[in-house]
Amino acid sequence: MATLYRAASPDSLIVVPVDLLTAIYHRASSQTHLMASPAPEILQALAGVPLDAAALLAKLRADYDLVDADPGALIARLDELVETGLVERR
Amino acid sequence: MRHHFSVAIGPVGFRVGSDWRGPVAALEQLYASYPKPQDGIADFTVRLFADRPWRRVFRPKVMIGGDFVLPEAAPLSLEHGLLAAEMAMNLQMALGQRRYLLLHASAVERDGKALVMTGLSGAGKSTLAALLMTRGWRLMGDEFALLDPATGLIHAFPRLISLKNEAIQVMQEAAPDGMFGPLLADTPKGAIRHLVPDARSIAAMLEPARPALILFPTFGHAAVTREVAASEVFVRLTQASTNYVALAERGFAALTRLVTETSARAIDYPDTQSAIAQVEALWRAL
């Protein structure tokens, strides 16, 4: 079975777009993250809805008109987000 | 403790206790025009004490203590007792302040708006703030700017201006009528001399101001001004804040608001005259 990914619940995050980067405060860890696209978009897509990487890619492609979506790069970004504690694998 | 002194600096009250008369006498003289803490209650207590009983009299060494301490703080000689007191007061703010987001920055005010200057030690933020004070700006502080998470306003903390090395001569010339403390030679930071902020800055120290410009000065290069992205300002100010982590969500909200609502520039400057001209030009263009 494919790995599912789930983001921290939206009410545990404060998300403030600063410029090209987005500042995110994670209440559970008291940590501040400064993130570039597509990390904030991934967090939004996974908010409350566990998805596997293929379904997430399809959702991002539909929501953001991605033309050169790369599954390998998406897995790398997901791994980074898991490292931060903002996304969990299930 | 044998000797006591209390003072209000901006919204913060301090009580200093000392084993020796000297540092308290210097504080009494230099802070003579400052008010006392409201209702006599200090926010922070500072202690200047001898680490061994005989150190009160024999080669006296001043240890600094208080509500919050750094375990590795080294003692200073009694001739540097005033510096010890100032360092101890700063330390209480840096470690204990919870009401405001503390930015390691100088700040000056004009037309009700605040200019906040931050940078590495030696960038000239103290000197620039002191020079601007002699040119009609209100000095809000040379070391800490207090950002109120509830309002987004900068509150003043106009302690004695700490002038180091070359800045001493610069300010003696720029403020010939200023009230200066004793010259403290050979301190761990070189020569230090304190300058009392002007009467207007002290009288208005409880008036906050809306931040209008954040400046990152760097001394020693040809005059250049560049914009600084809000995200870069955010990162630099988290590093320039001593209590960002402690304030948690309030600190995050205060800082994101500050960086998204306030212009920011970096300036390189070859001499203080150029820096003043660059600052005034940026201010006019706001």
Q: How many domains does chain B have?
A: 2
Range of the domain at B139: 101-284
CB contacts < 8 A, A to B, total 34
Residue B63: its pLDDT value, please?
87
CB of A34 less than 8 A from some CB of B = yes
B153/B84 same-domain check: no
CATH label of the domain that carries residue A9: 3.90.930
The verdict on B159 and B227 lying in the same domain is yes
Print the SS3 string covering A13-73. Answer: EEEEECCCCEEEEECCCCEEEEECCCHHHHHHHCECCCEEHHHHHHHHHHHHCCCCCCHHH
Q: What is the pLDDT of residue B192?
A: 95
Encode pLDDT of B163-175 as tens digits: 999 999 999 999 9
Cross-chain CB nearest to B234 (options A20, A23, A30): A23
Contacts of A73 (CB under 8 A, 6+ apart): none
| Cβ contact, residue pair B231, A32, below 8 Å | no
Range of the domain at A57: 4-89
Please report the pLDDT score of residue B64 as a whole number. Answer: 87
Given a cut of 80, whether residue B71 has pLDDT beyond it is no
Same structural domain, B71 and B11: yes
pLDDT of residue B74: 75
Residue of B nearest to A13 (CA): B249
- B148 vs B144: CA distance, rounded Å: 13
Residues B65 and B114 reside in one and the same domain:
no
Same domain flag for B66 and B112: no
Statement to judge: residues B117 and B246 lie in one domain: yes
| Mean model confidence pLDDT for chain B | 94
CB within 8 A of B203, min separation 6: which ones?
Answer: none
3-class secondary-structure state, position B35: coil
Degrees to nearest 5, angle at CA A67 with A63 and A70: 95
Residue B261, chain A, CB below 8 Å: the answer is: no
Question: Same structural domain for residues B28 and B59?
Answer: yes
DSSP readout, B213-252? EEEEEEESS--EEEE--HHHHHHHHHHHBSSHHHHHHHHH
The answer to whether B249 and A27 have CB atoms below 8 angstroms apart is yes
Task: Spell out the residues 6+ positions from residue A80 whose beta carbon is closer than 8 angstroms to its own.
Answer: A39
Q: Residues B106, B91: one domain?
A: no
Q: Are residues B142 and B42 in the same domain?
A: no
Report d(CA B237, CA B251) in Å as an integer. Answer: 11
Q: Looking at the partner chain, which of A19, A20, A32 has a beta carbon nearest the beta carbon of B252?
A: A32
Q: Give dist(CA B273, CA B142) in Å, integer.
A: 18
User: Is the pLDDT assigned to residue B144 strictly greater than 90?
Assistant: yes
Based on the structure, what is the number of domains in chain A?
Answer: 1
* Subunit contact B238:A18, Cβ cutoff 8 A: no
Structure tokens at B282: 């940026």
Given a cut of 90, whether residue B258 has pLDDT beyond it is yes
Per residue in A18-27, pLDDT (tens digit) is 999 999 999 9
Tell whether B229 is within 8 A of chain A (Cβ).
yes
pLDDT tens digits, one per residue of A60-90: 998 887 777 788 999 999 999 999 999 999 8
Instruction: Please report, for the domain that includes residue B212, its CATH number.
Output: 3.40.50
Burial B242-280 (b: 16+ CB within 10 A, else e): bbbebbeebbbbbbbbbbbebbbbbbbbeebeebbebbe
Q: Are residues B107 and B194 in the same domain?
A: yes
- Tell me if chain A has a CB within 8 Å of the CB of B286: no
For A71, phi then psi, to 5°, come to -60, -40
Cross-chain Cβ contact A23/B252 below 8 Å: yes
Among the partner-chain residues A18, A30, A32, the one whose CB lies closest to the CB of B230 is A18
C-alpha–C-alpha distance, residues B90 and B84, integer Å: 10
Q: Nearest CA to CA, how far is A85 from chain B (Å)?
A: 17
Mapping DSSP to helix (H, G, I), strand (E, B) and coil, where does residue B195 land?
Answer: strand
Structural domain ending residue among the three candidates B46, B80, B96: B96
